[in-house]
Structure 1
Amino acid sequence: MTLDTPELAHVLLALCLLLAAAHGCGYAMSRLRQPRVIGEIVGGLLLGPTVLGAVAPGAGSALFPPSGAVPAVLDAIYQLGLLFLMFTAGAEMRGFFHRRERRALTWISVVGMLLPFAAGLAVVGALPLQGLHGAAATDGAFVLVFGIAVAITSIPVISRIMLDLGILDTSFARIVLGVAVVEDVVLYILFAVALGLVAQDPGDSWGLPAILGIGSSGTASVAYHVVAELGFLGAMMAAGPWLYRKLSHRYNPVRRGNHIGFELVFVLSLSMIAMWLGVVPLLGAFVAGLVVSTSTGIGATRARESIKAFSFAFFIPVYFATVGLRLDLLREFSLVFFVPFFLFACVVKSMSVYAGARLGGEAPSTSRNLAVALNARGGPGIVLASVAFDARIISASFYSSLVMLAVLTSLIAGSWLGRIVRSGHPIREVADDRLGQDPPAASAG
């Protein structure tokens, strides 16, 4: 598709508005000591049917039409934003596991993930929730998405909150991020399986599943996608670092030409390979981040930081602003459903994390802080909502509810932890450390 001059001007105008709204509202939220991602979504919300579309319907549809060059270009940037968000999340996941927190991390990961997931499965199996299904949803795919929505937690948002509060280098932060890593890896695999179960048109079949003649439903499909997700993740975690080192050889002309370009080729290639295997590309990008994080060379580190900087300046704000742009809280948001769903998800997740923390030997106050922090759905919750909605697993109404759940739980976590830090009370009850940092080692003699 070639854009003529008016179409290109329209695309540039739409991008300028989205970026300006995302960064402006993100800055406003950061000044309020809230996650920037919330402001980026609000920026899209202001330009979408919820605000601009309600005040000036003609202007909203003219700026962001449902068809043509603008939605096509925005969708491409939106998809790339999702891939680079997953890549940066994977690249940030090293250094969160310490033996000193192993007991608490294990108990919270198991109890805090399995109980909410099981509770979500029980609820979706007991209540008539057909109105929440998307057009292409199978029962298995929808049930998995509902369970994941209750159990998922956020790495990017909660890490940004703790960075802004100056507690990212504490034992409390290591527990939170360690648990989030374990939970998100497991739940992303389950989500990838759910996406593999979505009913597809025969013409959409592609890659290895099409070659093997595997459909989008049935026992064979479930078995294939479970094996494919686990096999891809296991193979890349085992051989990925070796492969990356080999590809990073000094005789590689791509790497020698531009290290940033080399890492971009790596993440996009892994995403494409994942798609060919029937694995969702977001898992490929996530694994690419995990793999490249094993390289600690100056060139690799600078390349990752450069990709991260530009992604958070362009691709990722457009992604989150587009999430807000798609929300129609006036027509496609049911408060009657959302309130009990919000209370159920928060209570089940928080109580499960609290129970896991207590079983892991944490004090009651620390357990409460962990329960609130790990209740934040943030970026992963929004990714779950947007990808499930794009795959037509969930309805527009449920999509709106999942995004609002992610936004509100992130706001609650930021406000709670900020209040604890400003009060001077220990965020984790560890001797001689008001902010939860590990106590200094005793000197010999």
Structure 2
Amino acid sequence: MRVDILLLDIVVVLALARLLGMGARLIGQPPVIGEIVAGIVLGPTLLGDVIGQQLFPADLRPVLKGLADVGLVLFMFVVGMELDQKLVRGRGRVAASVSLSSTLLPFGLGCLVALWLAADHDQGRTLPFVLFFGAAMSATAFPVLARILTDRQMHRTRLGGLALACAAIIDVLAWTVLAVVVAIAGTGGSGQWQVALAVPFALVMFLGVRPLLRRMVPAYEKAGRLTPNLLALVLIGLFASAWATEWMHVHFIFGAFLFGAVMPREGAEKLNHEILERLEQLAVLLLLPMFFVVAGMSVDLTTLDLGGVGVLAVILAVAIGGKLGGAYVAARLQRVPGRQAAALAALINTRGLTEIVILSVGLEKGVLDTELYSLMVVMALVTTAMTGPLLSRVYPARQVERDLAEAQRAAAGPRVDRRVLVVVEDPDEVEGLAEIAREQAAGDGSREVVLVHLRPYPAERLEVGLGLSAELAEMAGTMAGLERLAAAIRTEELPVRVVSRFSADVAAELPGLVAGAEPHVIVIAPTAPGQAAVRRAAGRRVTLVDPAERRAVQPAGKDT
């Protein structure tokens, strides 16, 4: 093995992946599109066998695949951590209906297409081929979908929350079905008894390992940071879980995903946030591009003939029609308005990196041949690339603005005689706010307290579809702190509402949010972003209270 060629390969892979990723973003596409195209560009489709063998010689390919597999382990761990029951809370029935329909319909249609293709492509393994093809058709990329929603600010709307809930459920369904299919396609003979250990292993992870992992939370809180020992413990557990499922002849990605799913949630938001920050950078910038290249080396479109174009057209029609049709019909049956149902279907149709991972598993296990694998990769690219333009068509920016305005009006709440709005800078630093809120809300008539917290999220987020994980972790911790404060204020006569979300510009957005709530008293610290603009917008209609001094800094005027 030549180390100089290996280092050159890393330079080429990283440079091209970053370049095409930025190019994809410039044309309004998720950067993952550019990353996947970079892998195809470096494969035999464009470079050919001669140049490809010089740049990526045979003795280096196992090393590159090893790096790709490590990146895949980290990515699947992140996907497992991103899935949280909070995403589904309050949307269970609609999300479950849409998820099942948008999974089962493309799965069934995919199985029918696989039966049609079996004679030429099943390699003598018809059952696993048919089941795997159906599973590949039914996937949805939760990470890419989350990134699309955050870029359009749709994660703050009811539709965005429903889409996230559906994608989370589809992810669990897809990985479960895929695990079963891979187990069926696993080695025979002496390996079968190991496959039977997969279900007991999952139970041990949830019932035994998860309680042990919760013990990291007190250690993290005592240290005040993610120590090398804690991170090493997580990595040891992660790779041990991945090894276990690989040994069982399922696949290492399921062990990595499972370990992410059993990571503690309640009270561990900051810990998980730091873990994700550390691992995402390594996975996104170095190791996942290696995975794209290894996946792209197996894509060869130079041999595509007229018959292959016909097969590709059928695959695209079934993949797109199954997802869009299944999601739209189920959403309409649940009385989701037509435009929102169409937007939901467009979002769920995106495949992204999730599909590439599934296809790579099929190729590795010998369920897919190279020709069909190449066509399915094209399908993954098309369905992901069409999501943005289709969404803009059926759900334009003006509709998103109306949804955000509706959410703003809902946050204002009903008319009351006295509304106290408390701007919370830091949910972890709320000493004295409960008492101040009760004091300011005292009096006769209908009363209400509204807790408002806006938290900035970084403009530059991770590119490969992982752009919501940190926000979700922060939001979970924020909501927990605000709910504790609300519980300390709330009585039978004094209701408390919580308004919390992320903002690109807190100082600019806070005055509008405050004005929309129409408060009679605003409790805000002089250090709060946008405090001066809030005072100017308040005029003489409200009383502003400095929580540090517990005194009015602007006298009450006549309520309007």
1:34 aligns with 2:29: yes
Q: Report the 3-state secondary structure (helix = DSSP H, G, I; strand = E; otherwise coil) of the residue aligned with 2:335.
A: coil
1:49 aligns with 2:20: no
Q: 1:131, 1:395 within 8 Å by CA — same for their partners in 2?
A: no
1:153 aligns with 2:173: no
The equivalent of 1:267 in structure 2 is 238
1:133 aligns with 2:122: yes
TM-score, normalised to structure 1, is 0.84
Letter aligned with residue 405 of structure 1: M
Q: What does residue range 75-154 of structure 1 map to in structure 2 within 5 Å?
A: 75-94=65-84, 96-125=86-115, 127-134=116-123, 138-154=125-141
| 1:266, distance to aligned residue in structure 2 (A) | 1.9
- Report runs of 4+ in structure 1 exceeding 6 Å deviation: none
The equivalent of 2:210 in structure 1 is 241
Q: What does residue range 24-423 of structure 1 map to in structure 2 within 5 Å?
A: 24-53=19-48, 57-65=49-57, 67-68=58-59, 70-94=60-84, 96-125=86-115, 127-134=116-123, 138-198=125-185, 200=187, 209=192, 212=193, 224=196, 228-246=197-215, 250=219, 257-292=228-263, 294=265, 296=268, 298-331=270-303, 334-419=308-393, 423=397
The equivalent of 2:474 in structure 1 is none
Q: 2:214, 2:264 within 8 Å by CA — same for their partners in 1?
A: no
Q: Report the 3-state secondary structure (helix = DSSP H, G, I; strand = E; otherwise coil) of the residue aligned with 1:424.
A: helix
Letter aligned with residue 214 of structure 2: R
Q: Report the 3-state secondary structure (helix = DSSP H, G, I; strand = E; otherwise coil) of the residue aligned with 2:73.
A: helix
- C-alpha distance after superposition, 1:89-131 (max 9, x if no partner): 1111226534442232121022222222223223434x25322
Structure 1 residues 414 and 240: alpha-carbon distance in aligned structure 2, compared to 1, 3 A threshold: farther
| 1:421, distance to aligned residue in structure 2 (A) | 6.1
Q: Report the 3-state secondary structure (helix = DSSP H, G, I; strand = E; otherwise coil) of the residue aligned with 2:410.
A: coil
Structure 1 residues 420 and 341: alpha-carbon distance in aligned structure 2, compared to 1, 3 A threshold: closer
Take 1:438 and 1:92, find their aligned partners in 2: how far apart are those partners? 30
- C-alpha distance after superposition, 1:1-28 (max 9, x if no partner): xx5xxx1111111111111111110111
Take 1:438 and 1:286, find their aligned partners in 2: how far apart are those partners? 39
Structure 1 residues 299 and 113: alpha-carbon distance in aligned structure 2, compared to 1, 3 A threshold: closer
Q: 2:118, 2:129 within 8 Å by CA — same for their partners in 1?
A: no
Structure 1 residues 60 and 237: alpha-carbon distance in aligned structure 2, compared to 1, 3 A threshold: same
TM-score, normalised to structure 2, is 0.67
Q: Structure 1 residues 113-122 or 93-102, which shifts more?
A: 93-102
Take 1:235 and 1:437, find their aligned partners in 2: how far apart are those partners? 45
Q: 1:138, 1:393 within 8 Å by CA — same for their partners in 2?
A: yes
| Higher-RCO chain (CA-CA 8 Å, sequence separation at least 6) | 1
Letter aligned with residue 377 of structure 2: V
Q: 1:157, 1:378 within 8 Å by CA — same for their partners in 2?
A: yes
1:443 aligns with 2:433: no
| 1:78, distance to aligned residue in structure 2 (A) | 1.3
- C-alpha distance after superposition, 1:393-441 (max 9, x if no partner): 01111101111111110111122234566541248x86953xx789326
| 1:198, distance to aligned residue in structure 2 (A) | 2.3
Q: 2:17, 2:38 within 8 Å by CA — same for their partners in 1?
A: yes
Superposition CA RMSD, Å: 2.8
- C-alpha distance after superposition, 1:164-183 (max 9, x if no partner): 22223332222122112212
| 1:369, distance to aligned residue in structure 2 (A) | 0.7
Take 1:431 and 1:359, find their aligned partners in 2: how far apart are those partners? 25
The equivalent of 1:22 in structure 2 is 17
Q: 1:94, 1:293 within 8 Å by CA — same for their partners in 2?
A: no
Give the number of the structure whose residues are more often helix, by fraction.
1
Q: 1:376, 1:409 within 8 Å by CA — same for their partners in 2?
A: yes
Aligned pair count reads 410
Q: Report the 3-state secondary structure (helix = DSSP H, G, I; strand = E; otherwise coil) of the residue aligned with 1:443.
A: coil
Q: 1:109, 1:179 within 8 Å by CA — same for their partners in 2?
A: yes
Structure 1 residues 196 and 103: alpha-carbon distance in aligned structure 2, compared to 1, 3 A threshold: closer
Structure 1 residues 339 and 50: alpha-carbon distance in aligned structure 2, compared to 1, 3 A threshold: same
Q: 1:92, 1:293 within 8 Å by CA — same for their partners in 2?
A: no
Letter aligned with residue 52 of structure 1: L
- C-alpha distance after superposition, 1:266-310 (max 9, x if no partner): 211111122334432111111111222526253442122111121
The equivalent of 2:557 in structure 1 is none
Structure 1 residues 128 and 300: alpha-carbon distance in aligned structure 2, compared to 1, 3 A threshold: closer
Q: 2:43, 2:293 within 8 Å by CA — same for their partners in 1?
A: no
Q: 1:101, 1:171 within 8 Å by CA — same for their partners in 2?
A: no
Q: Report the 3-state secondary structure (helix = DSSP H, G, I; strand = E; otherwise coil) of the residue aligned with 1:292.
A: coil
Give the number of the structure whose residues are more often strand, by fraction.
2
Structure 1 residues 411 and 431: alpha-carbon distance in aligned structure 2, compared to 1, 3 A threshold: closer
| 1:256, distance to aligned residue in structure 2 (A) | 5.1
Letter aligned with residue 99 of structure 2: S
Sequence identity of aligned pairs in percent? 26
Letter aligned with residue 372 of structure 2: F
Q: 1:260, 1:307 within 8 Å by CA — same for their partners in 2?
A: no
Q: Structure 1 residues 379-388 or 94-103, which shifts more?
A: 94-103
Q: Report the 3-state secondary structure (helix = DSSP H, G, I; strand = E; otherwise coil) of the residue aligned with 1:279.
A: coil
- C-alpha distance after superposition, 1:68-89 (max 9, x if no partner): 1x10110101111221121111
Gaps of 5+ in 2: 417-560
